[in-house]
A and B are shown apart, each in its own frame.
Chain A
Amino acid sequence: MQNAFIELPWAVALILLPLAGAMGCFLFPRISRTLGLMTSFSIVVSVVGLGWQLLEHGSYRHAVGGWGAPLGIELVADGLSLLMLTTTAIVGFAISVYSTTYFKPALAVRFWPIWMCLLAALNALFLSADIFNLYVTLELLGLSAVALTALTGSKEALSGAMRYLLATLLASLAYLLGVALLYHSFGSVDIAVLAQQMQAASPYASGAIWAALGLMAAGLMLKSAVFPLHFWLPPAHGSAPAPVSALLSALVVKASFYILLRLWFTLFEPLVNGEAINTLLGLLGCAAILWGSVQALRQTRLKLLIAYSTVAQIGYLFLVFPLAASMGSIAWNGVAYLIISHALAKSAMFLSAGNLLCFGGHDRIADLDRVVQRLPLTAAAFALAGVSIMGLPPSGGFIGKWLLLEAAIIQGRWDLVAVMILGGLLAAAYIFKVIGHTFTQAPVTHEAQSVSASMQWSALLLAIGAMLLGFLSLPVLSLLNISDITATSGVGL
């Protein structure tokens, strides 16, 4: 019985279930809410199943339709993918619960099918093992994300979505060109095969390979919105409906970063092998941290503040490139930890911003008007998520930052230490700017609308999750190191 449970093809279920859910939601709009919620829950169950499988067998491979790597499509899962899938399942479930009451029926009909599509794309992305599949999932992800951004159809949302669409299409195109060039050079799109061949080819890499590297990296960086390619993010994330902003900031941006991380350390690291590019990526990360934080501090509207905070937090992720070069495991663990704790904390933040927006009808920070008394659960969710974003203990953000700081100090990278600390201080400044105003009374009080319990609790539980991560570092990091993918590039433990 137990064996049968483990041996079910959970990875396939992770992709097929949300696809079926999307279809169902589209065909039966009346029950789309129930269908969506059930699908989200079934994804959580499937991830547990997959995790069990991984713990039993180490990494996991599944040849779709019985066709193996060189010809067919393979699904691969290791520690990092499992971590990303788990985060997606948990955050996705919370967002689904939130959305059941957030959207009015007219919008809900449009929201659920696209959201299920997006979940399918995310899960497929984290399970893909070849760069062309990654392209397909990336494109599906981008398009459904744009559609969700434009959901309300307001002028602001449409212009934000349009910018987002242009950016994401350009990025996918660049990535696809890179894929074509690599396929031309090596005759394969499977990451493992490519890694071997590129290792061999690295001393005399041709222009085509360099061009492929540049194009793919640029495309993925544009999608990850690293400074200075972040221009599309604040308007898109700031104008979308709250649950959409949450999933964009928490999951979608991380997906393209995940691909970059994976390709970088399996394909490109042996090729570049020089410090120049790593240093450049690190510099961009630093610039993102400082620029994003300063911009966040200057915002007067809550959702834009949170969106700029995402720009800053993505900067931290890019510090892995200079740090992982010689301090592999510590920096690696730190970045993985930051990814998941940021996903939980930032989605909690956007969801609580959505509550505040429903509650007061606006998101002007200075007019928050005694939210602490009147909407305590939401205020608590925002504050707890803020603690993790600032990197104060006890929270997942603290663990991630501690590991990164440790890696930076061991390498004597005091510039990075200074930037990380400064980023933390700025984060505290912009978060407490909001929290301070939740205590005071606004000059003009607004008629308060009621906010449903499921919306309040889903935000709060996500924030509590980000806190709990501060105590779970050992189990989470041991999951991450199931057949560490860094081992293939020699960066490993």
Chain B
Amino acid sequence: MSWNAWVPLLVVMSSLLPGLIIFGLAEDKARLRIALNLFGALSKLVLVSWMIWGVYQGYHYETRLPLLPNLELVLRAGPLALLFVSLSTILWLVTTVYAIGYLEDSPHRSRFFGFFSLCVTATVGVALAGNLITFLLFYELLTLATYPLIVHRGTEEARQAGQTYLRYTISGGALLLIGTVWLYSLTGTLEFTPKGFLSNVGEQHYPALITIFALLIAGLGVKAALFPLHGWLPQAMIAPAPVSALLHAVAVVKAGAFGIIRVVYDVFGVEFSAALGVLAPLAWLAAFTIIYGSLRALFQDDLKRRLAYSTISQVSYIALGVAIAGPIATIGGVVHLVHQGLMKITLFFCAGNLAETLGIHKISEMNGVGRRMPWTMAAFTIGAFGMIGAPPIAGFISKWYLGLGALNTGQSWVILVLAGSSLLNAAYFLPILHRAWFMPPPESWPHEHPDKHKGEHKGEHRDKHYWGHKETAWALLLPPLVTAAMALAAGLLVTLPFSPLEWAKLISVREFYQP
């Protein structure tokens, strides 16, 4: 067995093993914990870069382990898998830095970082899964690993939110399980293949296939927060900010959206799904969710809840791009997986900074905050404009390709949805920016970080917490700046060989619409 066969497994292990070790660490071993986290994140980054280079050259990376009679655990690094893997790897590194800053001195960090690593392991597993059962395995693992993060604070409210989260996700998982077993009993294989593996199924099974499609999409739609399965997402906002950031940008929501891409392209095959007539309902559902999420976001005063509804709306762009079923729209949907991740994680980091530094949770408290925290709000502004779809930020590229793809396949109604959604995005983001930059700041902030001012706390705490004249701790400020810069770069440097867009085109050519 060659070295290439073990790389995908190593990528999964690079966060699993540090996570398991971290569980066993004592609470006060902060340095060792940070070292392990960063070591895992960096080694994953190296391995993934290695694979990206290799796949670009045409190498294959595939790990196979026996799981069940005739079914294997398959981890395979194709172009699409790598897109999602590299997104989660990069954002994991950034979020780890952020979480270290955010959770400084708060209790139960070993538990937190342990499950945090498990969560990333599951996400990477979802991305690399080479067949539906491997996908299912990591998809369920993701459900289990995120639950302790959501109830992390240990309050009754957090427990309730956790129960709601499970009610949705475990039911979704059950639907996915039925669909998967049913599919297996019809075809005898679950291996993801370009253009799907269902071409041999007889025509008498087409009604069954339509039901299976509905089951799978419903199961995945829970995590992707498709209407009406989105109810858990706003409630899960109870989790600490780094978790919300990761949940929204990379892990849970994206696992659902990524699963939809897999099911449409690699299980059913896009032409076959179109022939079955299942894509049009999916497109309508996605379009409705886009508008619905934006409308709900308009009426939220809680910043994190507004961002949560915005996520519901934005993630459905991916499903929409997939369901339009044309090569160009596909590029738009797939690339939005990355773009939305970069922009939304920026927004959540900023929201976390506002809450942690000034105690701001509501939009109505944000007057003039741009003067107090200019860098944070600059990053927020980039993220918000990206969400609206203003050029040259990444969000514009996604919307451009989605619109172009829709026109290309003669579905001009999608343009209306995109335009309406952009207007609504502007309607709920611009007032925030207006408040932050142009309104006068209040006399005092709701709950300013106590150790900010000189001399308030003397003695041993001072060195550790003294933030000086900076607007907040470095570990909190750097991550949003980095991700905002990446969102900008993804929009500006689209023609570079390894930009998300170029990679999405590669996926479209190599995997989905290969000649």
Contact = CB atoms under 8 A, between A and B. Distances in A.
Given A373-B108, A432-B163, A436-B159, A387 B144 contact: yes
B141 interface: yes
A410 interface: yes
Contacts of A402: 68, 177, 181
Interface string A350-370: 000000000000000000001
Given A421-B174, A473-B69, A405 B181 contact: yes
A479 interface: no
B178 to A, nearest CB: 6
A392 B163 contact: no
Which range contains the number of B residues in contact with the other chain?
35 or more
Contact of B69 (A436, A440, A474): A474
Interface in B133-150: 136-137, 140-141, 143-144, 147-148
Contact of B162 (A392, A409, A436, A477): A436
B272 interface: no
Report, as a range, how many residues of chain A touch the other chain: 20 to 34
Contacts of A471: 65, 67, 73
Main secondary structure of the interface of A (DSSP, over half): helix
A473 B68 contact: yes
A440 B141 contact: no
A163 interface: no
Contacts of A436: 151, 159, 162-163
A151 B177 CA distance: 43
B42 interface: no
B137 A394 contact: yes
Nearest to A384: B144
B177 A421 contact: yes
Contact of A428 (B68, B158, B166, B184): B166
Nearest to A411: B185
Contacts of A440: 154-156, 158-159
A439 B159 contact: yes
A70 interface: no
A440 B108 CA distance: 13
A477 B69 contact: yes
A304 interface: no
Contacts of A432: 147, 162-163, 166
Contact of B185 (A373, A410, A421): A410
Contacts of A399: 68
Q: Which of A406, A417, A440 has the most CB of B within 10 A?
A: A440
A378 to B, nearest CB: 14
A375 to B, nearest CB: 13
B484 to A, nearest CB: 34
Contacts of A392: 140, 143-144, 170, 173
A424 B174 contact: yes
Contact of A474 (B66, B137, B185): B66
Given A372-B111, A435-B147, A441-B154, 17 more contacts: A370-B154, A373-B107, A373-B108, A393-B136, A393-B141, A394-B141, A405-B177, A421-B174, A425-B171, A432-B163, A432-B166, A436-B159, A436-B162, A439-B154, A471-B67, A474-B66, A474-B69
The 4 lowest CB-CB distance pairs between A and B, nearest first, are A393-B137, A405-B181, A409-B185, A436-B159
